[in-house]
């Protein structure tokens, strides 16, 4: 079970989705929560030879790809989440793990139900009288008793029924498996929220990268205009040649930035497609824009909602109850066990020449000495119960931590967005004035180049702040529970 951590500056700029699904080995189907992982970039570790290892490490970064539609898809955030909930590999695996737990519950139930079987027998026998101790006294005029009965055959067909009448151990084990089935279903709900987090983070990573591409194109256009202006002034011998050189360097730097951000955008689109089950090469466009407002509720109300709505917390509580039942089952091994065996049918030389036969037997079994096995089972069950209780208490603390961190990040990022937007507007005005001053010969190209760099930094800060805010809101929705319905509200969408 098993993604919920800080949304901090550059860490979220590198984070394209979610963290490691597990440290090693297959997932435990009875795990109540998705483990808190170390963040990784979903664009990394996904090529041969590490692709299979990355998939085992974090199945939420993979999916079952759909078929290319041949048309361009327009995806809102809600559309993308719906696709992720349908195709994401992590949710598929978690659903199958839940099915495994369901089979354990059915297996436990079968031990409480009657076991009915049909048996048919064709036998040929030759009995030894000496083996069974049959002797006859010698009688005058009569031959001695033969050593065997001689060969004979018979047929027997019966239906048998075996029923456990009383076994407190089996009853408690069934109750434990039934509770575990419910806990596993809650783990599937928790996995759905992990998918929402993964898809939402990857979605806004693509949005942010697209914004960086548009910004880089605008900066390149500005750099080209300034390059032409500087070349004209140098050609007119009203500016030194170094101004033209600076302008060319700035233009080439802008071209390189555009190449880099376009490359990153394509990688982010591929990552998004892997998480949501899009076919490689499927054309798509994202329709939703990032939100720009921080949450308008207190952290106390967010924590209260989280303790009530988090599926993994409910799953952990159910797991504690299941461990309690398992402990009771271990203790119940010391109690008597009662069962009944019944069979009836036909028996004779052949079925056409047969008589009705039956047998009924009641059994009571009381353990007198088991060599310490029952005591060992009780100790193991008690240890497991204490571990589950500790995990439950720890999870409540982790949820409080997750909520507070996401709430703090969301509010801090909301303030950063306002400052960044204002700074970008001021930087644009400063660039415009610097160009006017350069055209009028008041200053040299250094001021214009520095102003262009300030504009680029201001726009990058705005994009980063918006991305951090939206990832913080997604993390807050996941931390509070019910992310599928809560996320649109936090992002200001109906």
Give pLDDT tens digits for 119-129.
Answer: 998 898 888 87
Task: Flag whether pLDDT at 17 surpasses 60.
Answer: no
- Rounded to an integer, the average pLDDT of 467-472 is 91
Domains of the chain: 9-110+168-334+372-490 (1.20.1600.10)
Looking at the chain, the whole-number percentage of residues with pLDDT higher than 90 is 51
What's the CA gap between 442 and 28, in Å, rounded? Answer: 71
Q: Which residues pair with 346 in a beta bridge?
A: 157, 356
What's the CA gap between 480 and 300, in Å, rounded? Answer: 11
Of 332-336, 342-346, 377-381, 431-435, least confident by mean pLDDT is 431-435
Of 31-45, 222-236, 323-337, 383-397, least confident by mean pLDDT is 31-45
0.85 exceeded by the pTM? no
Q: What is the pLDDT of residue 479?
A: 92
Of 108-112, 145-149, 315-319, least confident by mean pLDDT is 145-149
What's the CA gap between 24 and 317, in Å, rounded? Answer: 25
Q: What is the pLDDT of residue 8?
A: 37
Widest distance between CA atoms in the chain: 154
Q: What is the pLDDT of residue 30?
A: 44
What's the CA gap between 484 and 19, in Å, rounded? Answer: 20
pLDDT band for 4, please (50, 70, 90 cuts).
very low
Q: What is the pLDDT of residue 375?
A: 95
State the chain's mean pLDDT as an integer. Answer: 84
- Rounded to an integer, the average pLDDT of 458-465 is 90
pLDDT band for 13, please (50, 70, 90 cuts).
very low
pLDDT band for 493, please (50, 70, 90 cuts).
low
Task: Flag whether pLDDT at 141 surpasses 70.
Answer: no
What's the CA gap between 334 and 368, in Å, rounded? Answer: 8
pLDDT: which is higher, 355 or 130 = 355
What's the CA gap between 366 and 392, in Å, rounded? Answer: 37
Question: Quick check: 220 and 259 in contact, CB under 8 A?
Answer: no
What tens digit of pLDDT does each residue of 50-99 get?
Answer: 444 444 568 888 888 888 888 999 999 999 999 999 999 989 988 888 88
């Amino acid at each position: 079970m098993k993604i919920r951590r800080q949304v901090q500056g550059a860490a979220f700029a590198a984070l394209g989705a979610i963290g490691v699904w597990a440290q090693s080995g297959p997932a435990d189907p009875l795990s109540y929560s998705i483990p808190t992982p170390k963040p990784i970039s979903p664009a990394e570790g996904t090529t041969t030879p590490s692709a299979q290892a990355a998939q085992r490490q974090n199945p939420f970064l993979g999916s079952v790809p759909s078929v290319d539609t041949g048309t361009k898809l327009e995806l809102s955030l809600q559309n993308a989440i719906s696709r992720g909930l349908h195709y994401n590999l992590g949710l598929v695996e978690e659903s199958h793990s839940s099915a495994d737990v369901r089979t354990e519950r059915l297996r436990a139930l079968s031990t409480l139900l009657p076991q009915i079987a049909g048996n048919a027998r064709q036998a040929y026998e030759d009995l030894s009288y000496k083996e069974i101790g049959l002797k006859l006294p010698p009688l005058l005029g009569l031959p001695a008793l033969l050593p065997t009965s001689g060969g004979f055959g018979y047929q027997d067909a019966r239906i048998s029924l075996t029923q456990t009448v009383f076994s407190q151990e089996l009853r408690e084990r069934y109750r434990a498996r039934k509770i575990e089935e419910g806990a596993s279903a809650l783990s599937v709900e928790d996995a759905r929220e992990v998918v929402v987090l993964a898809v939402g983070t990857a979605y806004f990573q693509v949005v942010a990268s697209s914004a960086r591409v548009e910004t880089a194109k605008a900066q390149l256009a500005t750099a080209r205009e300034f390059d032409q202006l500087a070349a004209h002034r140098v050609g007119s011998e009203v500016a030194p040649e170094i101004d033209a050189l600076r302008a060319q360097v700035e233009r080439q730097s802008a071209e390189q930035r555009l190449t880099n951000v376009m490359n990153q955008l394509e990688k982010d689109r591929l990552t998004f497609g892997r998480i949501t089950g899009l076919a490689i090469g499927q054309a798509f466009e994202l329709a939703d824009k990032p939100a720009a407002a921080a949450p308008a509720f207190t952290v106390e109300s967010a924590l209260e909602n989280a303790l009530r709505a988090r599926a993994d917390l409910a799953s952990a509580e159910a797991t504690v109850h299941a461990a309690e039942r398992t402990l009771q089952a271990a203790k119940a091994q010391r109690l008597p066990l009662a069962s009944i065996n019944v069979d009836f049918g036909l028996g004779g030389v052949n079925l056409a020449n047969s008589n009705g036969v039956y047998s009924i037997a009641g059994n009571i079994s009381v353990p007198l000495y088991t060599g310490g096995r029952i005591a060992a089972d009780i100790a193991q069950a008690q240890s497991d119960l204490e571990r589950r209780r500790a995990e439950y208490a720890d999870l409540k603390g982790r949820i409080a931590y997750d909520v507070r961190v996401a709430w703090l990040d969301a509010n801090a990022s909301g303030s950063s967005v306002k400052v960044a937007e204002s700074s970008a507007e001021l930087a644009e005005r400063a660039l415009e004035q610097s160009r006017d001053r350069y055209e009028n010969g008041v200053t040299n190209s250094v001021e214009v180049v520095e102003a262009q760099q300030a504009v680029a930094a201001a726009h990058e800060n705005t994009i980063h702040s918006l991305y951090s805010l939206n990832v913080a809101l997604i993390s807050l929705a996941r931390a509070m529970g019910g992310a599928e319905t809560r996320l649109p509200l936090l992002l200001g969408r109906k």
